[in-house]
């Protein structure tokens, strides 16, 4: 709507999907959680299912805009707008969400890694709509963290980091995820960092070391924030996200034993 | 010396309508048959206009006209808005055209006005107006404007200097020659936007029966606006009325007369339809005046004890593309820098430089925040170099209470001597320091540092010239139904002006606020007026209201004493009656008194007074009264990210007698929020071609609730001003003035382990990280 | 340009009153409320969804009326600032804002009020931090927010007390 108000976009038609009830809802299905594209950010924020199955998303939602916008904003809208600094976009990248799309040729599923075609451009046809998002559910003892740096509460992140860490009984990292939002034109999965973590015994020192791997990440600069600052923040936010995830993983694992 | 109403936090007259959605802001005013305007604005910072093609726009159904200068010119006495305040310092005339037709000199400059049935249609059509531009090189940075061979901001201008002058006194050369230490530094405070939550707007309508053209404009200066419009349109004074309706914040730029007002008023006259234009937020970024871009190259000379011997340097002031007000902002900066301190010798070379950006006129603070920033930064620098406590070096240099009234060698822009009339600056600083725990802070800082946290404390003093004269008229009239009507040339833009005037009047006339109606900012209600700016209205209009209310009171008592056959001295006014003191005895309603003095054909007026229970006063006060204060700010800085969190603000101030404590505190807190925004968030960016890069509120960051510190601790010192009966000094701008200085001082203190030196604001996180890294590299090398 | 002139008739309730009006399909909800229904208490400050002055309650939930089209309100219920008081009696938030000097120019006030009404419905006992977060999407240039936060805490207390009396 701001784009319409500012006449940045001049569409021939605007279709309101608010009345399509089938596009709304949160459903736990075994090891996945399915979210209708028109599910509001507010409903995700207050959903016990999301809090249980996808706490990373719950945490990210506290950074999304303000209550007036979360009351109206939808997860499908966030993902299609595909602002690289948007929190839900970063979460989708971190969790390898699957995007279901409906068009004249029926349904198809797109892994989130293939969803961004470029800056703020989803890889869907103009005849298609996003209908549903599917997120995998990680084990309960996973440590998660979503942290971001923005100038003010509710602003888009300059850099955000989403991290998930799963440890074995010996404190060795068995699964690791690190995604960065706001750094580049599309959300980044830091797969080399993830690889450097997996198989290692988790520690603050290890995290400090691997977070530095973000120093040379490809980053965009603009008139407000130089690329070098985003690279610097990529390290800082990665470290903070991984440290928090580790502290939570430790607690979960301890509680499990 | 509080009264029953004056000095009390009574309920504001304004609140009820505002809270219920019943207020009338300019866009809330509409008439049947109103046509709406959208402006075609320059896309270039500098270009020649080769032609304007309206054809496609005029084909849109619902479009009535596309007006350019060629259409307006036959109906105007002048192509230009000649509103500049007088000064011998101008080096060229830079008046704004009503609409640009040959050359545009900033992005957003209006070129054509599309008039249509609705704003939606007007904007459709505005997008189809084709302007043929021949782009020219643009000046974005005022420092570049001074470079040899720099392009001219106006194509045919001889140079890029709008005005130049110098200011100073004493023997600077001698002071610097004998100084134990001289420190040199360059400072920069960045440009900002006022961002009243209500943008500008204007609606004008011609009333055919009376031939009166009425313009409702969100202006801070309706009387000045009327004067300009009468001249431009050739209308008699009694055929034009300008009304300031409820205004959603002014903060300075709404005091300026704008091209849009001239176009809308003229269009209403031409078409006989009410015409409305409401500025949208993106227009606010490119067409409403801005302020604060100044570069200072300064030297300070001090003796071995840190006493200032001299201050000198040069000020480069970004004037923007046109002269929309005057040299006043730069003058205000130059005249403010020394004020709190005893500075024996001072010299400043001041140049106002033309750039291809929106014109610069006062925003809350009006040049003073920059001056305070520079002075306080210099003192921090001297303190650091001399290893003197930052508060102590200030204490050694502040004008002392015993020196007040302190006659400075400075003159105001009107040539009046600057005399610091009241206050005790060292006492004010001491109060703030004590509350903030200045002495013990170093132990807290060290403890925090041991845990890897960087906290800092900063201090800044200011002295603000308030109550700009010469007068602001107020009339007080008791109607025949007993209701008290107050009218003033003062304009209300959200700062509780109506409540303030009602308080002053009620104190003398029965102490019933609900019996008072105030009209502020209506040229139909009172003939003369200056309006709202320069923290002046409580001082100037308040003084006139007090004088007028006293006159009406005396008259009411006098007439009532005749009506009641009781001596005047025995009477009092309580509520809506004049009665025997204490209330046990004869009484007469104010309404009856008013009726009695309205006269009856063939009968005496009781008491033999002039008819009418009313008085109009224009109390003249030429000298400004000087308010002062000290701000202490505590911050924590995240040295990993550069994030600055303001954790505490202590603000000790002296605005003389306080008329309404909550309003005064509200002004201060609001000013502090504005100043914190200037220190940390607000950035009006332009690229090298002078294209604005921040044109939404998502890009230009205003303070939001979550960024404000915990409740601000305000300490009131009350030294009544001897210059007005009420003893008041202005307070509207106080909060903003010391904030950039105090925050910079605190951040520099927090980052002292890194040896960071702060010389510009706003302090963005990337800049701070660069400073931290740069400073630590410097340390290593 | 025909499509932009197209209208649809919408039926909606505003402040408890039913309306049926034809509206241009592209008209913003904020403009519809202000200029068609003459409910000018809802203010427009930025038209890009940042300032919060245009906040209304849409089916009881705070929403930015500058980010919605009027046609989207078909079949829905809206509360604007004009609907908060019961006759002459103001909402406790309105009274408290006045007492705590939580407004100066008053332009942001309608959006503040609607946002805070929702907050107190959701959370009758908010902390100062909760209030600050709730209004972080409502910009005010006058007050520095302090009076607004204090007023909200006070109003919440009064509303709890009167709810306690009723139950």
Which CATH number do you get for residue A113?
A: 3.30.465.10
Which residue of chain A comes nearest to B705, CA vs CA? A153
- Per the rule left: phi > 0, alpha: psi between -120 and 50, beta: everything else, B347 is beta
Query: Among C62, C83, C104, where does a domain finish?
Result: C83
Q: Are strands B643-654 and B625-638 parallel, antiparallel or unpaired?
A: antiparallel
Clarify whether residues C96 and C78 are in a common domain.
no
Instruction: Please tell me the distance from the alpha carbon of residue B526 to that of residue B541, in angstroms, as a whole number.
Output: 13
- The whole-number average pLDDT for the span C26-34 is 97
Q: State the ipTM, two decimals.
A: 0.97
Clarify whether residues C77 and C100 are in a common domain.
no
A9 CA: distance to closest CA in chain C (Å): 13
Chain A residues with CB-CB distance to B127 below 8 A = 7
The number of domains in chain C is 2
Query: Among A136, A157, A174, where does a domain finish?
Result: A136
Beta-carbon separation of C105 and B280 below 8 A: no
Clarify whether residues A151 and A86 are in a common domain.
no
Clarify whether residues A125 and A149 are in a common domain.
no
Chains touching chain A through at least 3 C-beta pairs below 8 angstroms are B, C
Is residue A95 pLDDT above 60, yes or no?
A: yes
Clarify whether residues A99 and A189 are in a common domain.
no
Clarify whether residues C71 and C34 are in a common domain.
yes
Clarify whether residues A156 and A102 are in a common domain.
no
Number of H helices, E strands in chain B: 20, 33
Q: What is the CATH number of the domain that holds A163?
A: 3.30.390.50
Clarify whether residues C127 and C69 are in a common domain.
no
Instruction: Pick the residue of B765, B768, B776 with the most A CBs within 10 A to test the interface with A by mutation.
Output: B765
Instruction: Please tell me the distance from the alpha carbon of residue B241 to that of residue B256, in angstroms, as a whole number.
Output: 17
pLDDT in the model for residue A256: 42
- Average pLDDT over chain A reads 93
Query: Which residue, A88, A147, A89, A85, is CA-closest to A113?
Result: A89
Beta-carbon separation of B685 and A155 below 8 A: no
Where does residue C69 rank: exposed (0-12), middle (13-18), buried (19+ CB within 10 A)?
Answer: buried
Instruction: Please tell me the distance from the alpha carbon of residue B25 to that of residue C45, in angstroms, as a whole number.
Output: 12
- The whole-number average pLDDT for the span A1-13 is 83
DSSP state of C108: S
Instruction: Please tell me the distance from the alpha carbon of residue A82 to that of residue A88, in angstroms, as a whole number.
Output: 9
A42 in C contact zone (CB under 8 Å): yes
- Average pLDDT over chain B reads 95
> In which band, very low, low, confident or very high, does the pLDDT at B531 lie, cut at 50, 70 and 90?
confident
Give domain status of residue C26, yes or no.
yes
Give tens-digit pLDDT for B468-498. Answer: 889 999 999 999 999 999 999 998 988 899 9
Which residue of chain C comes nearest to A1, CA vs CA? C67
Chains touching chain C through at least 3 C-beta pairs below 8 angstroms are A, B
Chain A residues with CB-CB distance to B689 below 8 A = none
Give tens-digit pLDDT for B639-654. Answer: 999 999 999 999 999 9
Beta-carbon separation of A68 and C64 below 8 A: yes
Clarify whether residues A74 and A15 are in a common domain.
yes
Clarify whether residues C105 and C51 are in a common domain.
no
Give tens-digit pLDDT for B597-610. Answer: 998 899 889 888 99
Clarify whether residues C70 and C97 are in a common domain.
no
Spell out where B524-603 has E strands. Answer: 571-574, 577-580, 587-589
Chain A residues with CB-CB distance to B685 below 8 A = 223-224
Q: What is the CATH number of the domain that holds C138?
A: 1.10.150.120
Percentage of residues in chain B with pLDDT exceeding 90?
A: 93
Query: Which residue, B621, B605, B645, B611, is CA-closest to B547?
Result: B621
B282 in A contact zone (CB under 8 Å): yes
> In which band, very low, low, confident or very high, does the pLDDT at A251 lie, cut at 50, 70 and 90?
low
Chain B residues with CB-CB distance to C51 below 8 A = 197, 281, 697
pLDDT in the model for residue B340: 96
B272 in A contact zone (CB under 8 Å): no
> Domain of C137?
92-166
With a CB cutoff of 8 Å and minimum separation 6, the contacts of B260 are B37, B39, B110, B200, B202, B277, B279, B287
Give domain status of residue C156, yes or no.
yes
Chain A residues with CB-CB distance to B640 below 8 A = 236
pLDDT in the model for residue B1: 47
Beta-carbon separation of A68 and C3 below 8 A: no
Beta-carbon separation of C48 and A69 below 8 A: no
B251 in C contact zone (CB under 8 Å): yes
> Domain of A234?
143-256
SS (HEC) of B276-314 = EEECCHHHHHHHCCEECCEEEEEEEEECCCCCEEEEEEE
pLDDT in the model for residue A2: 79
Clarify whether residues A74 and A193 are in a common domain.
no
Beta-carbon separation of A71 and C68 below 8 A: no
Clarify whether residues A76 and A175 are in a common domain.
no
Chain A residues with CB-CB distance to B681 below 8 A = 151-152
Query: Among A136, A167, A189, where does a domain finish?
Result: A136
Cα torsion at A220, A226, A229, A231 (round to 10°)?
A: 20
Give domain status of residue C152, yes or no.
yes
Which residue of chain C comes nearest to B664, CA vs CA? C101
Q: What is the CATH number of the domain that holds C71?
A: 3.10.20.30
Chain B residues with CB-CB distance to C78 below 8 A = none
Instruction: Please tell me the distance from the alpha carbon of residue B91 to that of residue B146, in angstroms, as a whole number.
Output: 14
Give domain status of residue C2, yes or no.
no
Spell out where B32-109 has E strands. Answer: 35-41, 47-53, 63-67, 80-81, 96-97, 103-104
- Helix H segments across B163-297? 172-178, 222-233, 259-271, 281-287
Clarify whether residues C55 and C96 are in a common domain.
no
Please state the pTM of the whole predicted model: 0.96
CB B466 within 8 A of CB B538: no
Clarify whether residues A114 and A169 are in a common domain.
no
Chain A residues with CB-CB distance to B706 below 8 A = 152-154
Task: Tell me the residues of A at the B interface, defined by beta carbons under 8 Å apart.
Answer: 2, 6-7, 149, 151-156, 158, 223-226, 229, 232-233, 236
Only one residue has tokens 């509350």, namely B435
Handedness of CA A39, A41, A42, A47 (dihedral sign): positive
C27 in A contact zone (CB under 8 Å): no
Clarify whether residues C76 and C115 are in a common domain.
no
Query: Among C83, C110, C133, where does a domain finish?
Result: C83
Query: Among A112, A136, A160, where does a domain finish?
Result: A136
Instruction: Please tell me the distance from the alpha carbon of residue A112 to that of residue A153, in angstroms, as a whole number.
Output: 27
Is residue B183 pLDDT above 80, yes or no?
A: yes
Backbone angles phi, psi at B706, to 5 degrees: -75, -15
The number of domains in chain A is 2
Clarify whether residues A188 and A91 are in a common domain.
no
Clarify whether residues C48 and C72 are in a common domain.
yes
Query: Among C30, C58, C83, where does a domain finish?
Result: C83
Give domain status of residue C78, yes or no.
yes
B722 in A contact zone (CB under 8 Å): no
Chain B residues with CB-CB distance to A156 below 8 A = 698
Clarify whether residues A104 and A155 are in a common domain.
no
Is residue B778 pLDDT above 70, yes or no?
A: no
Clarify whether residues A124 and A162 are in a common domain.
no
- Which one of B127, B640, B641 has the shortest CB-CB distance to A7? B127
- The whole-number average pLDDT for the span B750-776 is 93
Give tens-digit pLDDT for B148-176. Answer: 999 999 999 999 999 999 999 999 999 99
A47 SS3 class: coil
Clarify whether residues A130 and A184 are in a common domain.
no
């Amino acid at each position: 709507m701001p784009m319409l108000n500012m006449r940045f976009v001049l569409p021939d038609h605007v279709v309101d999907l608010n009345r399509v009830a089938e596009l709304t809802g949160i459903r736990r299905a075994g090891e996945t959680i399915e979210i209708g594209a028109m599910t509001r950010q507010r409903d995700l924020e207050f959903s016990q299912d999301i809090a249980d199955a996808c706490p990373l998303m719950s945490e990210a939602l506290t950074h999304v805009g303000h209550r007036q916008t979360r009351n109206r904003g939808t997860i499908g809208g966030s993902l299609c707008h595909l602002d690289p600094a948007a929190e839900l976009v970063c979460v989708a990248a971190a969790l390898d969400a699957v995007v279901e799309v409906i068009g004249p040729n029926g349904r198809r599923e797109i892994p989130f890694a293939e969803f961004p075609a470029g800056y703020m451009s989803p890889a869907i046809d103009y005849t298609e709509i996003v209908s549903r998002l599917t997120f995998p559910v990680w084990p309960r003892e996973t440590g998660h963290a979503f942290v971001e740096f923005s100038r003010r509460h509710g602003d888009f992140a300059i850099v955000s980091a989403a991290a998930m860490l799963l440890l074995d009984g010996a404190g060795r990292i068995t699964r690791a995820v690190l995604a960065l939002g706001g750094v580049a034109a599309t959300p980044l999965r830091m797969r080399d960092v993830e690889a450097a973590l997996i198989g290692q015994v988790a520690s603050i020192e290890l995290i400090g070391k691997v977070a530095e791997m973000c120093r040379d990440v490809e980053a965009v600069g603009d008139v407000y924030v130089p690329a070098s600052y985003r690279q610097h923040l990529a390290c800082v936010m990665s470290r903070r996200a991984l440290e928090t995830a580790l502290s939570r993983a430790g607690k979960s694992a301890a509680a499990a034993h | 010396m509080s009264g029953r109403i004056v000095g009390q936090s009574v309920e504001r007259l304004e609140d009820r309508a505002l809270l219920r959605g019943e207020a009338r802001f300019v866009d809330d005013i509409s008439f049947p048959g109103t046509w709406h305007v959208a402006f075609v604005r320059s896309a270039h910072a500098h270009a020649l206009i080769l032609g304007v093609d309206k054809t496609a726009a005029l084909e849109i159904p619902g479009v009535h006209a596309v007006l350019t200068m060629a259409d307006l010119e036959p109906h105007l006495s002048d192509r230009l808005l000649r509103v500049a305040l007088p000064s011998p310092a101008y080096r060229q005339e830079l008046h704004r055209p009503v609409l640009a037709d040959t050359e545009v000199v900033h992005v957003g400059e209006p070129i054509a006005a599309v008039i249509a049935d609705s704003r939606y249609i007007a904007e459709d059509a505005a997008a189809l107006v084709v302007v043929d531009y021949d782009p020219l090189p643009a000046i974005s940075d005022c420092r570049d404007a001074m470079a040899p061979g720099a392009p001219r901001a106006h194509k045919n201008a001889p140079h890029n200097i709008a005005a130049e002058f110098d200011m100073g006194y004493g023997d600077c050369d001698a002071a610097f020659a004998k100084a134990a230490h001289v420190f040199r530094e360059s400072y920069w405070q960045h440009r900002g936007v006022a961002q009243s939550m209500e943008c500008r707007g204007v609606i004008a309508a011609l009333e055919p029966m009376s031939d009166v053209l009425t313009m409702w404009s969100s202006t801070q200066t309706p009387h000045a606006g009327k004067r300009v419009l009468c001249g431009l349109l050739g209308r008699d004074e009694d055929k034009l009325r300008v009304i300031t309706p409820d205004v959603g914040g002014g903060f300075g730029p709404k005091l300026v007369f704008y091209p849009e007002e001239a176009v809308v008023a003229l269009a209403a006259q031409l078409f006989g339809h009410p015409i409305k234009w409401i500025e949208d937020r993106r227009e606010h970024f490119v067409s409403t005046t801005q302020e604060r871009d100044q570069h200072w190259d300064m030297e300070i000379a001090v003796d071995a004890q840190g006493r200032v011997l001299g201050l000198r340097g040069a000020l480069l002031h970004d004037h923007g593309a046109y002269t929309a007000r005057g040299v006043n902002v730069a003058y205000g900066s130059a005249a403010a820098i020394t004020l709190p301190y005893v500075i024996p010798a001072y010299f400043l070379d001041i140049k106002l430089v033309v750039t291809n950006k929106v014109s610069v006129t006062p925003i809350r603070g009006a040049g003073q925040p920059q001056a305070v920033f520079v002075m306080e930064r210099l003192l921090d620098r001297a303190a650091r170099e001399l290893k003197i406590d930052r508060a102590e070096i200030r204490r050694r240099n502040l004008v002392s209470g015993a020196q007040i009234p302190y006659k400075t060698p400075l003159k105001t822009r009107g040539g009046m001597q600057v005399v610091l009339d009241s206050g005790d600056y060292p006492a004010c600083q001491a109060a703030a320091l004590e509350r903030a725990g200045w002495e013990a802070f170093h132990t807290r800082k060290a403890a925090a540092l041991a845990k890897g946290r960087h906290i800092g404390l900063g201090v800044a003093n200011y002295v603000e010239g308030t109550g700009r004269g010469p007068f602001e008229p107020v009339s007080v009239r008791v109607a025949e139904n007993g209701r008290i009507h107050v009218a003033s040339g003062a304009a209300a833009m959200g700062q509780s002006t109506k409540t303030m005037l009602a308080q002053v009047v009620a104190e003398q006339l029965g102490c019933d606020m609900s019996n008072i109606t105030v009209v502020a900012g209506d040229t139909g209600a009172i003939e003369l007026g200056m309006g709202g700016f320069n923290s002046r209205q409580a001082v100037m209009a308040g003084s006139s209201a007090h004088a007028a209310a006293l006159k009406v009171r005396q008259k009411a008592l006098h007439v009532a004493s005749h009506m009641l056959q009781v001596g005047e001295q025995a009477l009092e006014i309580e509520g809506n009656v004049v009665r025997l003191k204490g209330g046990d005895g004869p009484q007469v309603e104010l309404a009856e008194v008013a009726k009695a003095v309205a006269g009856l054909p063939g009968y005496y007026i009781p008491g033999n007074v002039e008819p009418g229970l009313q008085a109009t006063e224009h109390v003249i006060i030429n000298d400004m009264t000087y308010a002062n204060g000290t701000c202490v700010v505590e911050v924590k800085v995240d040295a990993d990210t550069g994030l600055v969190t303001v954790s505490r603000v202590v603000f000790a101030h002296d605005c003389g007698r306080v008329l309404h404590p909550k309003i005064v505190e509200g002004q201060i807190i609001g000013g502090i929020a504005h100043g914190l925004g200037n220190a940390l968030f607000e950035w009006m960016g332009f690229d090298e071609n002078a294209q604005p890069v921040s044109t939404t509120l998502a890009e230009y960051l205003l303070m939001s609730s979550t960024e404000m510190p915990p409740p601000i601790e305000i300490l009131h010192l009350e030294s009544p001003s001897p210059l007005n009966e009420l003893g008041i000094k202005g307070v509207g701008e106080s909060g903003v003035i010391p904030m950039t200085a105090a925050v910079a001082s605190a951040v520099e203190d927090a980052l002292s382990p890194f040896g960071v030196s702060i010389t510009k604001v706003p302090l963005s996180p990337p800049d701070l990280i660069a400073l931290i890294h740069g400073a630590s590299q410097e340390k290593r090398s | 340009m025909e499509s932009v002139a197209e209208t649809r008739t919408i039926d909606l309730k505003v402040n408890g009153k039913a309306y049926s009006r034809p509206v241009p399909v592209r008209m913003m909800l904020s403009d519809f409320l202000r200029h068609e229904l003459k409910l000018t208490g809802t203010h427009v400050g930025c038209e890009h969804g940042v300032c919060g002055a245009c906040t209304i309650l849409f089916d009881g939930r705070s929403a930015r009326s500058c980010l919605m089209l009027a046609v989207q309100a078909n079949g829905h219920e809206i509360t604007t600032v004009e609907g908060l008081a019961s006759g002459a009696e103001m909402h406790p938030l309105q009274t408290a804002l006045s007492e705590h000097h939580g407004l100066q120019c008053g332009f942001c006030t309608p959006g503040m009020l609607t946002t805070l009404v929702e907050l107190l419905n959701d959370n009758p006992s908010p902390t100062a931090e909760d209030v600050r977060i709730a209004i972080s999407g409502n910009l005010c240039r006058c007050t520095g927010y302090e009076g607004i936060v204090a007023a909200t805490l006070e109003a919440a207390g009064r509303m709890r007390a009167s709810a306690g009396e009723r139950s």
